[in-house]
Structure 1
Amino acid sequence: MDMNYSYDKLISRCFPCAQLITDRFHVVQQMTKAFNVLRVQVMKEFDTKSPEYRHLKYYWKHLLKDYDDLSDIPFYSRSLRKWTTSRELVEQLINYSPILYQGWQVLQLASTHFRNKDSQAFFDLIESLNTEILPETFVKKYQFLLGKKASIKLALELGYSNGCLEGMNNKIKAIKRVAYGFRTFRNFKKRILLMNKTLTN
């Protein structure tokens, strides 16, 4: 399940013997949201017409990628007005602010521990976060995960995942958004089935 407070209480009440497993997708989502909030805070410290503001606004997706997975293939950046690579771009962005650099380091380390299923190192990192170095809002979003420690440990130990379901929900929401409404629910349902190639003649 996800980390919704009401779901947790409901399941614990209806199924007292059940073991709750937090879906890994939502843990990663919590970490990336924490960093994005920090990025926006840092971005707003610059003038809206400054290159730093534009770069942090347009290239935010590069900052969320694992550093080892960043491409070394050069591309021309119209905003930077030069040829660069994803790795060079990220190195430039994180040096715009010491706080952004620290937050990016935390995201990279936490993601590595989580990907390696090292729950001990993952939670040790979160417990060591200091509000004297990083903003309180950033630290609190990570410390929220400490309240789900048991269910996150199970998520790393077991193979259960809501990934397929979350992907399906996202596709349905995208269809609904770009279609600007369907005449009937039947047409909406057909479009979903066609998307998944499950509609038969």
Structure 2
Amino acid sequence: MRVLLGAGEQRWDGWIPTGREDLDLLDPAAWAAWFGERRADALLCEHVWEHLSEEEGRAAARLCFGYLKPGGFLRVAVPDANFPNPEYQRMVQVGGPGPADHPAADHKVVYDFRRLSAVFRDTGFRVRLLEYCDDSGRFHAQEWELATGPVYRSQRLDHRNRGGRLEFVSLILDAVRPLPAP
């Protein structure tokens, strides 16, 4: 079972799209009711975590950990605090760039790779960075399979990243629930 969290209008083949009304990242009772005894093989959450405070993000990470099978993973994408584009940073800033109906108006945190990784490591996940900018703003990308969890706002899929130019990137990581020790 592969579940897309905070899907909005996004749909990917093989993924069950859910919204806040189905699986609120902060509501354990909703998760218990939705999953029952089932556990997910994979969870995918694109540009949602920045709408949670860091403490809420940690609580959401704990919920996800509990509803993943051992060896399963949660792929998370958020705006990258280290992407060296002033207009991008203005658009993704905490509180957004303008009116209350702007998608970033309720951004509560803009993560860099260390801060986001810590949210998941502290919960018990193993973290693998897939795409991110380092402290110098240099972009890094590891090989990852789109079939295992496509992220539209990524180097490969986002229409704004054409012709070798990066106009919109995400900090993308896999948080893997470890297998039990033998």
Same fold (TM over 0.5): no
Structure with the larger strand share: 2
Larger gyration radius, structure 1 or structure 2: 1
Structure with the larger helix share: 1
Q: Which has the higher contact order (CA 8 A, sep 6+)?
A: 1
Name the TM-score, length of structure 1 as normaliser: 0.27
Name the TM-score, length of structure 2 as normaliser: 0.29
